[in-house]
Amino acid sequence: MKIYLEQNSGNPATPYTANIEITTASIDLNTKFKVPISQRVNGKTKYSGNICGFAVEGDHPDVVVSLIEKLILQLVNMARLPTYVFIARRSRKMFPVYTVEDQVFATTPGGPIFKHVELAKVREYLADYLNTTGQLGVPGKSEKLHVRGVHRETLALIRPIFYLKKRPLSATDDEFWAPVFTSRDGYSIYTYAASGRREVDIDNGYEVFWLRNQVAQALVADKRMSQNHDLRPDRLLPEYWER
């Protein structure tokens, strides 16, 4: 792994960028990431970086770079960096989620790995396990896991703009649930479904329908859904249309 600092002139809040190139250990080979290094002055100057929601901090930018390298190596699993991160807000815990072909994996520290073709089922299995073992929630009240994506350049967490959702129609049917994100350049929206990234250009709001249809067709072809119209946008809030 190669990491070098680049100074950001005229930006006191993030005076440095850690330029990262992974050369081994990951399928993200030769992918270049640019992680902002923030500066905080509160009696003593501190520098910090954030990788997939996990923060590192040090007294000097070089210390942060060293911590970032160690953190990335810890996060690489099955030769991959996380695609998503599940967040338990109340417990302030995070759980990396990986995709390998058509399988989604969630890991637990020193515990089992949960996998399924559907992100929704992995979240269900993981949440049940964590609440049952007392790692989340309080007696009599379970805690929900929230999903965030991972920005493919800065490695920061990104909030979904909406979801594509299919409710199970029978006891043997699985729920499909996929978060949708804005692309890095802001010109398209995308999600991961049926073993691939599904992406459409932004088109005055019609992109929601184009992406829904593209994902629905992929799920029908993969025999994971029977009818195109079983899939719907969910949590599509007014803020998206008011951009």
Q: What are the pLDDT digits (tens) for 140-174?
A: 678 999 999 999 899 999 999 999 998 777 777 77
Low-confidence ranges of the chain (pLDDT < 70): 23-30, 139-140, 241-243
Per DSSP bridges, beta strands 232-234 and 93-100 are unpaired
pLDDT of res. 66: 95
pLDDT of 25:
58
pLDDT digits (tens, 9 = 90+) for 49-62: 999 999 999 999 99
Query: What is the DSSP code string of 77-146?
Result: BTTB--SEEEEETTTTEEEEEEEETTEEEE--TTS--EEES-HHHHHHHHHHHHHHTTSSSBTTB----E
- Reference 123, options 141, 142, 140; nearest CA is 142
**Residue 112 CB burial class (10 angstroms; 0-12, 13-18, ≥19):** exposed
DSSP H stretches of helix in the chain: 61-75, 119-132, 207-221, 238-241
Q: How many CB atoms lie within 10 A of CB 43?
A: 5
Residue 141 has a pLDDT of 75
DSSP state at residue 185: T
Q: Where are the domains of the chain?
A: 2-75, 84-147, 160-241
Output the pLDDT for position 55.
95
* Residue partners of 110: CB distance under 8 A and separation at least 6: none
Instruction: Identify the pLDDT of residue 241.
Output: 65
